[in-house]
Amino acid sequence: MSKPRTTKANALGAVLAIALGVAIATQVQLTNERGLSELSQTDLIRLLDDISARSSRLDQQIHDLETTRDRLLSGTGSTGDALEQAQRRADTLGILAGTLGAQGPGITVSITDPDRGVSGPVILDLIQELRDAGAESIEVGGVRVVASSYVGDSSGNLSVDGEPIRRPILVKAIGDPNTLASAMTIPGGIVETIRLKGANASVDQASSITITSTHTPVEPVHAEPVQ
């Protein structure tokens, strides 16, 4: 008997299966929210609404991925379908990896910091809060933020991935505007933290935000794909 052939549809099906696993893992993480014991009932209800909305979006993504995977692996999808799905997946990965520009609804966070009280850890917390709220693309001071990004702070001079960040600081994030804005302005959240540092932060929602900055990937030195 001949060995099974590796087709574009099979390869794409494997990629979609991996993406499905990531989506499911992300949904599981929604149950691990921290710091809830100190919030009021109103704040807890708002958090629950945000989590429910994020969960619904992930459920839809899981359903779409399962449908596409099953169609491709069963052979009912045409070559054109496989190529179209492959291009969509490449675009998605490019946006997540920061190698492509992105546009869509989201928020901007403008930070005015005359006393330079906003430190690197505060900016790092802001980025993490945006990620937790489902931001799909983030830009800080004109620098694209990706999974490997780091925030530097030398004598009050901020940087992201070694690129200097000027004040006032403008942060762009693409994702669900309501969820992102709620994550920023929740009591005890990042906006309140910034104000305690003597700075001011304003959050604005927008139906369309464009992020043109990109990230140049670095070739891995130690890691390699599992065969």
CB 30 within 8 A of CB 133: no
CB 207 within 8 A of CB 201: no
Kind plus residue range of the DSSP H or E element containing 169: strand 169-174
Q: So what's the pLDDT on residue 4? A: 47
Q: So what's the pLDDT on residue 2? A: 47
Tracing tokens 């430190």 back to the chain, one arrives at: 119
Give the helix ranges, DSSP H, for the chain: 8-29, 41-74, 79-97, 120-132, 177-185, 190-196
For residues 178 and 50, what is the distance between their CA atoms, to the nearest angstrom? 8
In the predicted model, residues of the chain with pLDDT beneath 50 are: 1-4, 6, 28, 30-34
For residues 56 and 12, what is the distance between their CA atoms, to the nearest angstrom? 25
Is the pTM higher than 0.85? The answer reads no
Q: So what's the pLDDT on residue 19? A: 59
Say if residue 217 is preceded by a cis peptide, omega within 30 of 0: no
Q: So what's the pLDDT on residue 1? A: 47
CB 99 within 8 A of CB 217: yes
CB 36 within 8 A of CB 47: yes
Q: So what's the pLDDT on residue 30? A: 47
Q: So what's the pLDDT on residue 216? A: 87
Tens-place pLDDT, residues 57-109:
777 778 777 777 777 666 655 666 666 766 777 777 777 788 899 999 999 99
Q: So what's the pLDDT on residue 156? A: 86
